Structure 1
């Protein structure tokens, strides 16, 4: 009886997921700014390399340091939030992002930016791991509705990041860093003001919890799938600006191209992913979009001499990425018996390694062989992701 009532309430709330308390929108706004960090530096990568006299492979370490620290720090997010509370953890993460993004704008060389991006990654880990748990706890509409809101914020942040990076980067490569510091300060004030009455986690987490969670076959396979997927994702996101720069696409042009990519990502994550999941199921849809992402990377590699092919395939990739992000996040929240913050931390610990190594590897492969090779390797990674996902189908059928 209680299950029927819960289901009915869930369906009713799901229709009204956009009617949320101000606390939810405050966290969602900060999520948008936090996820800007992924694509913010995209349009200015060639400019940083030129003006600070650095090799592309070195500049790619801006992604590597950021994502590597984010992934490793995921292991301590549960410990921190269970000791100081969700709100304090969110605010600590936001404070670190404000400080290190501002320092990045003030940096004198690429080495300093790489280290400041690492500090930014620490703040990002504390914030994004906790933000999802907070939105799920505070938002109306159940887990599915909360994840859609979270993915909408992710998509909007990823899409606006390159646009803001292009607009501010047209003035100076330092502009995007200062822009994030200002916007995240606004998010800090909003969360301080509107997020109230949030209870601390009832159980103290330990650093061993995420490792125990990874002992679950379904969660581990989803994490490994995401690692391989993120390898392809960040090959496209971090390496393609150099390819487009060879076509004389400027900072503004790069910003608009990746803005189009991010808009498709945001739209499909919110409006398309739930419908595909309902019609075809989680496993079939995930495998389908992973194959599409792999083919997209393959087509970019094959058509690298054509500016139109590269631009079109980059933008189209956003549609596949949006569907994948929503479905795999939903699957992670439901596949294991572990608490959502623990499951999210364990999953994120694995997946960010794919994004951390991909930009650096892409730069090295391009320098050693040809600009086509990073995309071929990315396509292979997506093929492996499909195989890993297939190996865990018995867990995903229960979702």
Structure 2
């Protein structure tokens, strides 16, 4: 939750920060925002499997604590950055440090019974949602004191998180599940090649990728979309992200347990995809800022997909491969973050620039609908085993 708060704090001020550092129009800032997100994601893509494999060998605790210390330094660098080059360096380092999300998921897999994995993976999403409520809300308020204030607050949160984790985080990797480290499996292609040999998991990895590309339409263009479409400032953008986070936390922390009980993991994945199609279609064409605020939390009701998919795949690998699996999921997530910001911001710029043949700020949401339908078709054609 504290880690998500640190990330969410800086989102409302990113458009203004880029304009302040680089100059130019909002459309130009959106393109730079896509570049920064892509650089960040490339590092996660490259280092996710490496860090996941290291956690299988040396334990989850040291990997998680070191990453928080590095993130503290990274936020401080971005707080004083006066050029796009320094912002890019900050995103390079930050991408490596935050490639530990898979390690956190592996930690949850270590302490969860098979029947509880989906619900407990949902708790990670709920914690992220709560952090996403508080982070953007506070970030929007701190934005009134300047574009740098949220970065100092994010650094403080990461430092406090490292101290907190030092005292409460116990190690879960025992000699029973400890696995030797191999460089050939500590890179995205090597890990994917190894896991891809497991029956039925390759289509699930493809579906996971398509969904993450589609879902990342939110962080990729939300600040730019709402400012262009409704004229929102940092405060209102922060409020909308807070509403999304509240609903996401409720869905993944509470509602998902009932949905899983009623539908099971496979049908839960299908339900989430169908719901997101309708949510994205509504956001693509909404013209009222008030209605958009109403739709924002409703759009989070499809957030059951990721924990359900994680649980299905976690049950298909051994206890000594949880870090490796979650590491490759981190890489796939990062690859989606590379593709999605470039794709979504480019589509946004194409449909909002002066002289655009068709003015449609919500066009990226239509792209997301197409990707979701393709992923759902893959899932239906390659159903995972019941479990």
- Could you state the TM-score of these two structures normalised by the residue count of structure 2? 0.86
Q: How does 1:1-399 map to 2 (within 5 A)?
A: 32-36=1-5, 38-52=7-21, 53-54=23-24, 55=28, 56-126=30-100, 128-137=101-110, 143-144=117-118, 146-196=120-170, 198-199=172-173, 202-209=178-185, 210-211=191-192, 212-246=194-228, 247-303=230-286, 305-321=287-303, 323-337=304-318, 339-369=321-351, 370=359, 371-393=361-383, 395=384, 397-399=385-387
List, as ranges, runs of 4+ consecutive aligned residues in structure 1 with deviation greater than 4 Å: 138-142, 196-201
Instruction: Kindly provide the CA deviation profile for residues 38-74 of structure 1, in whole angstroms up to 9, marking residues without a partner as x.
Output: 5433311321233221521112323222223222211
Residue 290 of structure 2: SS of its match in structure 1? helix
Task: List alignment gaps of at least 5 residues for structure 1.
Answer: 1-31
Residue 335 of structure 1: SS of its match in structure 2? coil
Residues 170, 222 of structure 1: alpha-carbon distance in 2 compared, 3 angstrom cutoff: farther
Residues 146, 366 of structure 1: alpha-carbon distance in 2 compared, 3 angstrom cutoff: closer
1:232–1:294 contact (8 Å) kept in structure 2:
no
Aligned residues between the structures: 363
Task: Give me the CA root mean square deviation.
Answer: 2.4
Residue 156 of structure 1: SS of its match in structure 2? helix
Report the CA distance between 1:259 and its aligned residue: 0.3
Instruction: Kindly provide the CA deviation profile for residues 145-182 of structure 1, in whole angstroms up to 9, marking residues without a partner as x.
Output: 64343232222223323223212222222222221211
Residues 79, 325 of structure 1: alpha-carbon distance in 2 compared, 3 angstrom cutoff: closer
Report the CA distance between 1:380 and its aligned residue: 0.7
Residues 139, 224 of structure 1: alpha-carbon distance in 2 compared, 3 angstrom cutoff: closer
Higher relative contact order (CA 8 A, sep 6+): 2
Instruction: Kindly provide the CA deviation profile for residues 62-101 of structure 1, in whole angstroms up to 9, marking residues without a partner as x.
Output: 3222223222211201332245432221122112111111
Residues 132, 324 of structure 1: alpha-carbon distance in 2 compared, 3 angstrom cutoff: same
1:93–1:123 contact (8 Å) kept in structure 2:
yes
Residues 170, 319 of structure 1: alpha-carbon distance in 2 compared, 3 angstrom cutoff: farther
Question: 2-side partners of 1:260 and 1:96: how far apart?
Answer: 30
- Could you state the TM-score of these two structures normalised by the residue count of structure 1? 0.83
Question: 1-side partners of 2:279 and 2:294: how far apart?
Answer: 10
Residues 223, 39 of structure 1: alpha-carbon distance in 2 compared, 3 angstrom cutoff: farther
1:69–1:118 contact (8 Å) kept in structure 2:
yes
Report the CA distance between 1:103 and its aligned residue: 0.8
Report the CA distance between 1:298 and its aligned residue: 1.9
Task: List alignment gaps of at least 5 residues for structure 2.
Answer: 186-190, 352-358
Residues 164, 357 of structure 1: alpha-carbon distance in 2 compared, 3 angstrom cutoff: farther
Instruction: Kindly provide the CA deviation profile for residues 296-322 of structure 1, in whole angstroms up to 9, marking residues without a partner as x.
Output: 11222122x33234333222112222x
Residue 60 of structure 1: SS of its match in structure 2? helix
Residue 170 of structure 1: SS of its match in structure 2? helix
